[in-house]
Amino acid sequence: MSILETSGVRTASVVRIENVSKTYGSGSNALLALDRVSLDVQQGEFVCLLGASGCGKSTLLSLVAGLDKISSGTLDTGGRKVALMFQEAALFPWLSVIGNVELPLRMQGVGKAERRQRALELLEVVRLEGFGDKRPHELSGGMRQRVALARALAQDADILLMDEPFGALDAMTRDILHDELERIWREQNLTVLFVTHNVREAVRLGDRVILLSSRPGRVIEDFAIKHPRPRRIDSPEVSGQAAEITDRLRAEVARHAN
Ligand SMILES: Nc1ncnc2c1ncn2[C@@H]1O[C@H](COP(=O)(O)OP(=O)(O)OP(=O)(O)O)[C@@H](O)[C@H]1O
């Protein structure tokens, strides 16, 4: 495990991204999506990625997940397990809720009784006890995202990669899921990389908010969010820092448009 010296405190880096660039295609069709991105994420950190549409946020997550290859630079997760969660829950409609949560366990070869037990525990973690026999279409959008979260947790990953997981939910449901995610992140000692377009959401949740430039994505600012938790998305502290970050984002979008 790599050990970094940060502000005099020795901390463990679980995701180390150094000068990573990503180009899609080649020749005259080449598109530079990420340009020499460097980012270190420490054990247990909650890091939010913000940036204009198309700046490469999802690309960065897919590289960390190992779903795609970097074009240059180095990216090291120390072989840790990662789990992904998206805006769409992408549950299998023909499986029950518990069947969906059991799926990763089945793929890991966990025996029937043990995976049922573990899936029941996870449904309790996301507060869906009693809903195991339902089908996905019988649930609300927020409940489906809870199932997706339970399924991600079933992978027993150290790093949770979340790509706008609450982007399609109404504000109240999102608020509740922020509280739940914060609780689970703490209880399970997860490291989270969270992509969002919602600046307040980023400040509500993150220890850090990383601002990427318009394409090609580069890290242009790394905001430390120090307000005590739990935070409220509509608190003056969150709103104030969100306004500061929004101004910076706006300037970046305008710079790119000129
Ligand atoms: N598989 C691919 N092949 C070619 N180009 C791609 C591919 N995936 C992404 N891109 C391009 O790379 C750029 C970055 O895309 P990406 O989806 O990572 O951005 P994003 O910041 O997540 O966008 P959004 O905020 O709109 O979700 C875009 O211009 C996109 O069209």
**Cα 3 to middle of ligand 1, angstroms:** 32
Cα(67)–Cα(216) distance, integer angstroms: 20
**Cα 124 to middle of ligand 1, angstroms:** 35
Cα(126)–Cα(180) distance, integer angstroms: 7
Question: Which band of pLDDT confidence, cut at 50, 70 and 90, is reported for residue 224?
Answer: very high
Output the pTM of the full model. 0.92
Substitution site in 28, 35, 55, 61 for ligand 1 pocket (most atoms within 8 Å of beta carbon):
55
- Average confidence (pLDDT) over 6-32: 84
Q: Are 152 and 175 in the same domain?
A: no
Q: What is the pLDDT of residues 156-195, one digit of tens each?
A: 899 999 999 999 889 999 999 999 999 999 999 999 999 9
Cα(128)–Cα(106) distance, integer angstroms: 20
- CATH number for position 20: 3.40.50.300
Instruction: Tell whether 22 is covered by a domain.
Output: yes
Instruction: Tell whether 60 is covered by a domain.
Output: yes
Q: Are 164 and 253 in the same domain?
A: yes
Q: Which residue, chain included where needed, has tokens 């949770």? A: 160
Nearest residue (CA) to ligand 1, atom 23: 54
Lowest model confidence (mean pLDDT) among 201-210, 236-245, 248-257: 248-257
Q: Are 162 and 249 in the same domain?
A: yes
Q: Characterize 23-33 residue by residue with b for buried, 16 or more Cβ atoms within 10 angstroms of its Cβ, and e for exposed.
A: eeeeeeeeeeb
Instruction: Tell whether 86 is covered by a domain.
Output: no
Q: Are 77 and 97 in the same domain?
A: no
Question: What pLDDT score does 254 carry?
Answer: 87
Domain extent for 204: 2-81+158-257
Q: What is the pLDDT of residues 50-98, one digit of tens each?
A: 998 899 999 999 999 999 999 999 999 999 999 999 988 899 999 999 9
Q: Are 22 and 95 in the same domain?
A: no
Cα(218)–Cα(56) distance, integer angstroms: 9
Instruction: Tell whether 43 is covered by a domain.
Output: yes
The answer to whether residue 243 scores a pLDDT higher than 60 is yes
The answer to whether residue 202 scores a pLDDT higher than 70 is yes
The answer to whether residue 114 scores a pLDDT higher than 90 is yes
